[in-house]
Chains A and B, each alone.
Chain A
Amino acid sequence: MRSDTYAPTTYRILIGKPGLDGHDRGAKVVARALRDAGFEVIYSGLHQTPEALVQTAIQEDVDGIGLSILSGAHNTLMPRVVELLRDEGADDIFVFGGGIIPDDDIPQLKAAGVAEIFTPGTATSTIIDFVRGTCDKKYGRSDSGDP
């Protein structure tokens, strides 16, 4: 669906935990930071499949999906989410990721369509700026208006 005639008043983001790791402190910190920056954040809960996350993203009409993975399965799970979004014609929803992700893996994740990867030590303000900037660009807003 084209979004060019529409600019939302509030940006919506899904924070998802795909796969089998149960470490969601990081996901919750990012969700909370985005909330405090004025975003509506849907949190998926643990142990989601890429299919379930894409279904959720579509039902919730989110602008982007943040994937938190600390299990080492990022090379499989992150590109899979991007691929499923494409299959659903929903590739206007951007995907970003965070977790324990080796620097060497980042280029191939970006090549697979993941917009950005945030590794441990990233300031939450960096993540907020990225998410807001990407949403603004999506709706053709040049400066950073209210989300």
Chain B
Amino acid sequence: MKDALDHQILAGNTRAAARLMRLIDDRHPAAPDILAGLFPHTGDAYVIGITGNPGSGKSTLVNQLITEFRSRNDTVGCIAVDPTSPFSGGAILGDRVRMQDHAGDDGVFIRSVATRGHLGGLSRSTPAMVQVMDAMGFDVILIETVGVGQDEIEIVRLADTSLVVMVPGLGDDIQADKAGLMEIADVFVLNKSDRPAISQLRRQLQTMLSLHHQTSPDDTYRRPPLINTNALTGDGIDALVGAIDDHRLHLDEILDPQRRFQHRCAHLVRAIARTELEQRFHSACHSPDFDELIDQVADGRLDPYSAAQRLAATMLR
């Protein structure tokens, strides 16, 4: 299966790439070898993350961004993440509904992914799926996270440019001062800009950003621009793509390509190792040794803290 798949993927075969993505999602033992073969062919794609509250218009915005990038002849891969039900393990992946404008365009590859219990706004498989699209030669890869609240910010390590989508009417200015999501934006997208409260939202963000600048001085800090968009009509999308381009230039200035690639490699290795550890943790928690350990804690022969240390030690063996 391996040889066939990686050759087909490098030749741009969608079916083979789609199958590998499924092997990745299913944690199939054949996937890491195939990915290792693809790795030398990666590193050229520009990765853009889109995150924000549920219903803020992320998918509609992605649809418009695809149009804009396609008009420049960039090919676009898109990974759209939606939540898995914690009860049934099933999911409804509905982001494509808003991306219908690109049906039939061979320069666009959209893949819907379920979180399968992973927290952080992405699926465990997302970093490897980006690798697959990168190896296929897509110029731009858009990653739409699940609709996130405040702390699901894993996207920032995976994307070159992170967009945080805000909409008016979701809270007062103390929300803007909270940590997490608000700190990761390279560009703030103020969507649904036809709503009257948009100017209030803009003011709140501006206040928040000016305080940040005074309290965390940093040479490489760049104040994220605020871009008004109306994803339904397409208003402001050209300005948004301009802001993404500006941020890309900024990255080129502060980090040489080699260093950037190093950052990306570091993230990838961490993500792969974390998945491996999670898998070991899962098997360690479903073993007779684990049951024995729990018996000891329940009988009062062992305290839970020592038991946890022993469990952790078995994982690393």
Residues of A with Cβ closer than 8 Å to B? Answer: 1, 5-6, 8-10, 12, 31-32, 34-45, 47-49, 51-52, 55-56, 58-61, 88-90, 146
Q: Is B92 interfacial (CB-CB < 8 Å)?
A: yes
Known: A40-B90, A48-B103, A56-B96. A12 touches B22 (CB 8 A): yes
Q: Tell me the number of A-to-B contacts counted with CB atoms below 8 Å.
A: 98
Q: Mark B70-93, 1 if CB is under 8 A from A, else 0.
A: 000000000000001101111111
In the bound complex, residues from chain A placing their C-beta under 8 Å from that of B264 are: none
Whether B109 contacts A59 by the Cβ 8 Å rule is yes
B23 proximity list for chain A (CB < 8 A): 6
Q: How far is the CA of A90 from the CA of B14 in the complex (A)?
A: 12
Select from chain A the residue with minimum beta-carbon distance to B77: A59
Chain A contacts for B96, CB-based, 8 A: 42-45, 56
Expressed in whole angstroms, the Cα–Cα distance for A142 and B98 within the complex equals 38
- Complex Cα distance A31/B93, Å? 10
Contact in complex: B97, A31 (CB < 8 Å):
no
B244 smallest CB distance to A (angstroms): 24
Q: Are A42 and B14 touching (Cβ within 8 A)?
A: no
Question: CB distance B103 to A1 under 8 Å?
Answer: no
Q: Which residues of B contact A48 (CB under 8 A)?
A: 100, 103
Which size class do B's interface residues fall under?
A: 35 or more
Q: Once the chains bind, are A52 and B89 in contact (CB under 8 Å)?
A: no
Contact of A41 among B1, B90, B109 (CB under 8 A): B90
Interface string of B183-204 (1 = CB under 8 A from A): 0000000000000000000000
A59 partner, pick from B14, B26, B90, beta carbons under 8 A: B14
CB nearest neighbor in B for A9: B26
Judged by a CB distance under 8 angstroms, whether B208 is at the interface is: no
Contacts of B223 on A, CB cut-off 8 Å? Answer: none
Chain A residues with CB under 8 A of B25? 10
Using Cβ atoms and an 8 Å threshold, which residues of chain A touch B22? 8, 12, 61
B15 touches A35 (CB 8 A): no
- In the complex, chain B residues whose CB is within 8 Å of the CB of A42: 93-94, 96, 112
The 7 closest A-B pairs by CB, nearest first: A52-B103, A45-B97, A35-B90, A61-B18, A9-B26, A38-B90, A38-B89
- Are B103 and A90 within 8 A (Cβ)? no
* Bound Cα distance from A39 to B104, whole angstroms: 26
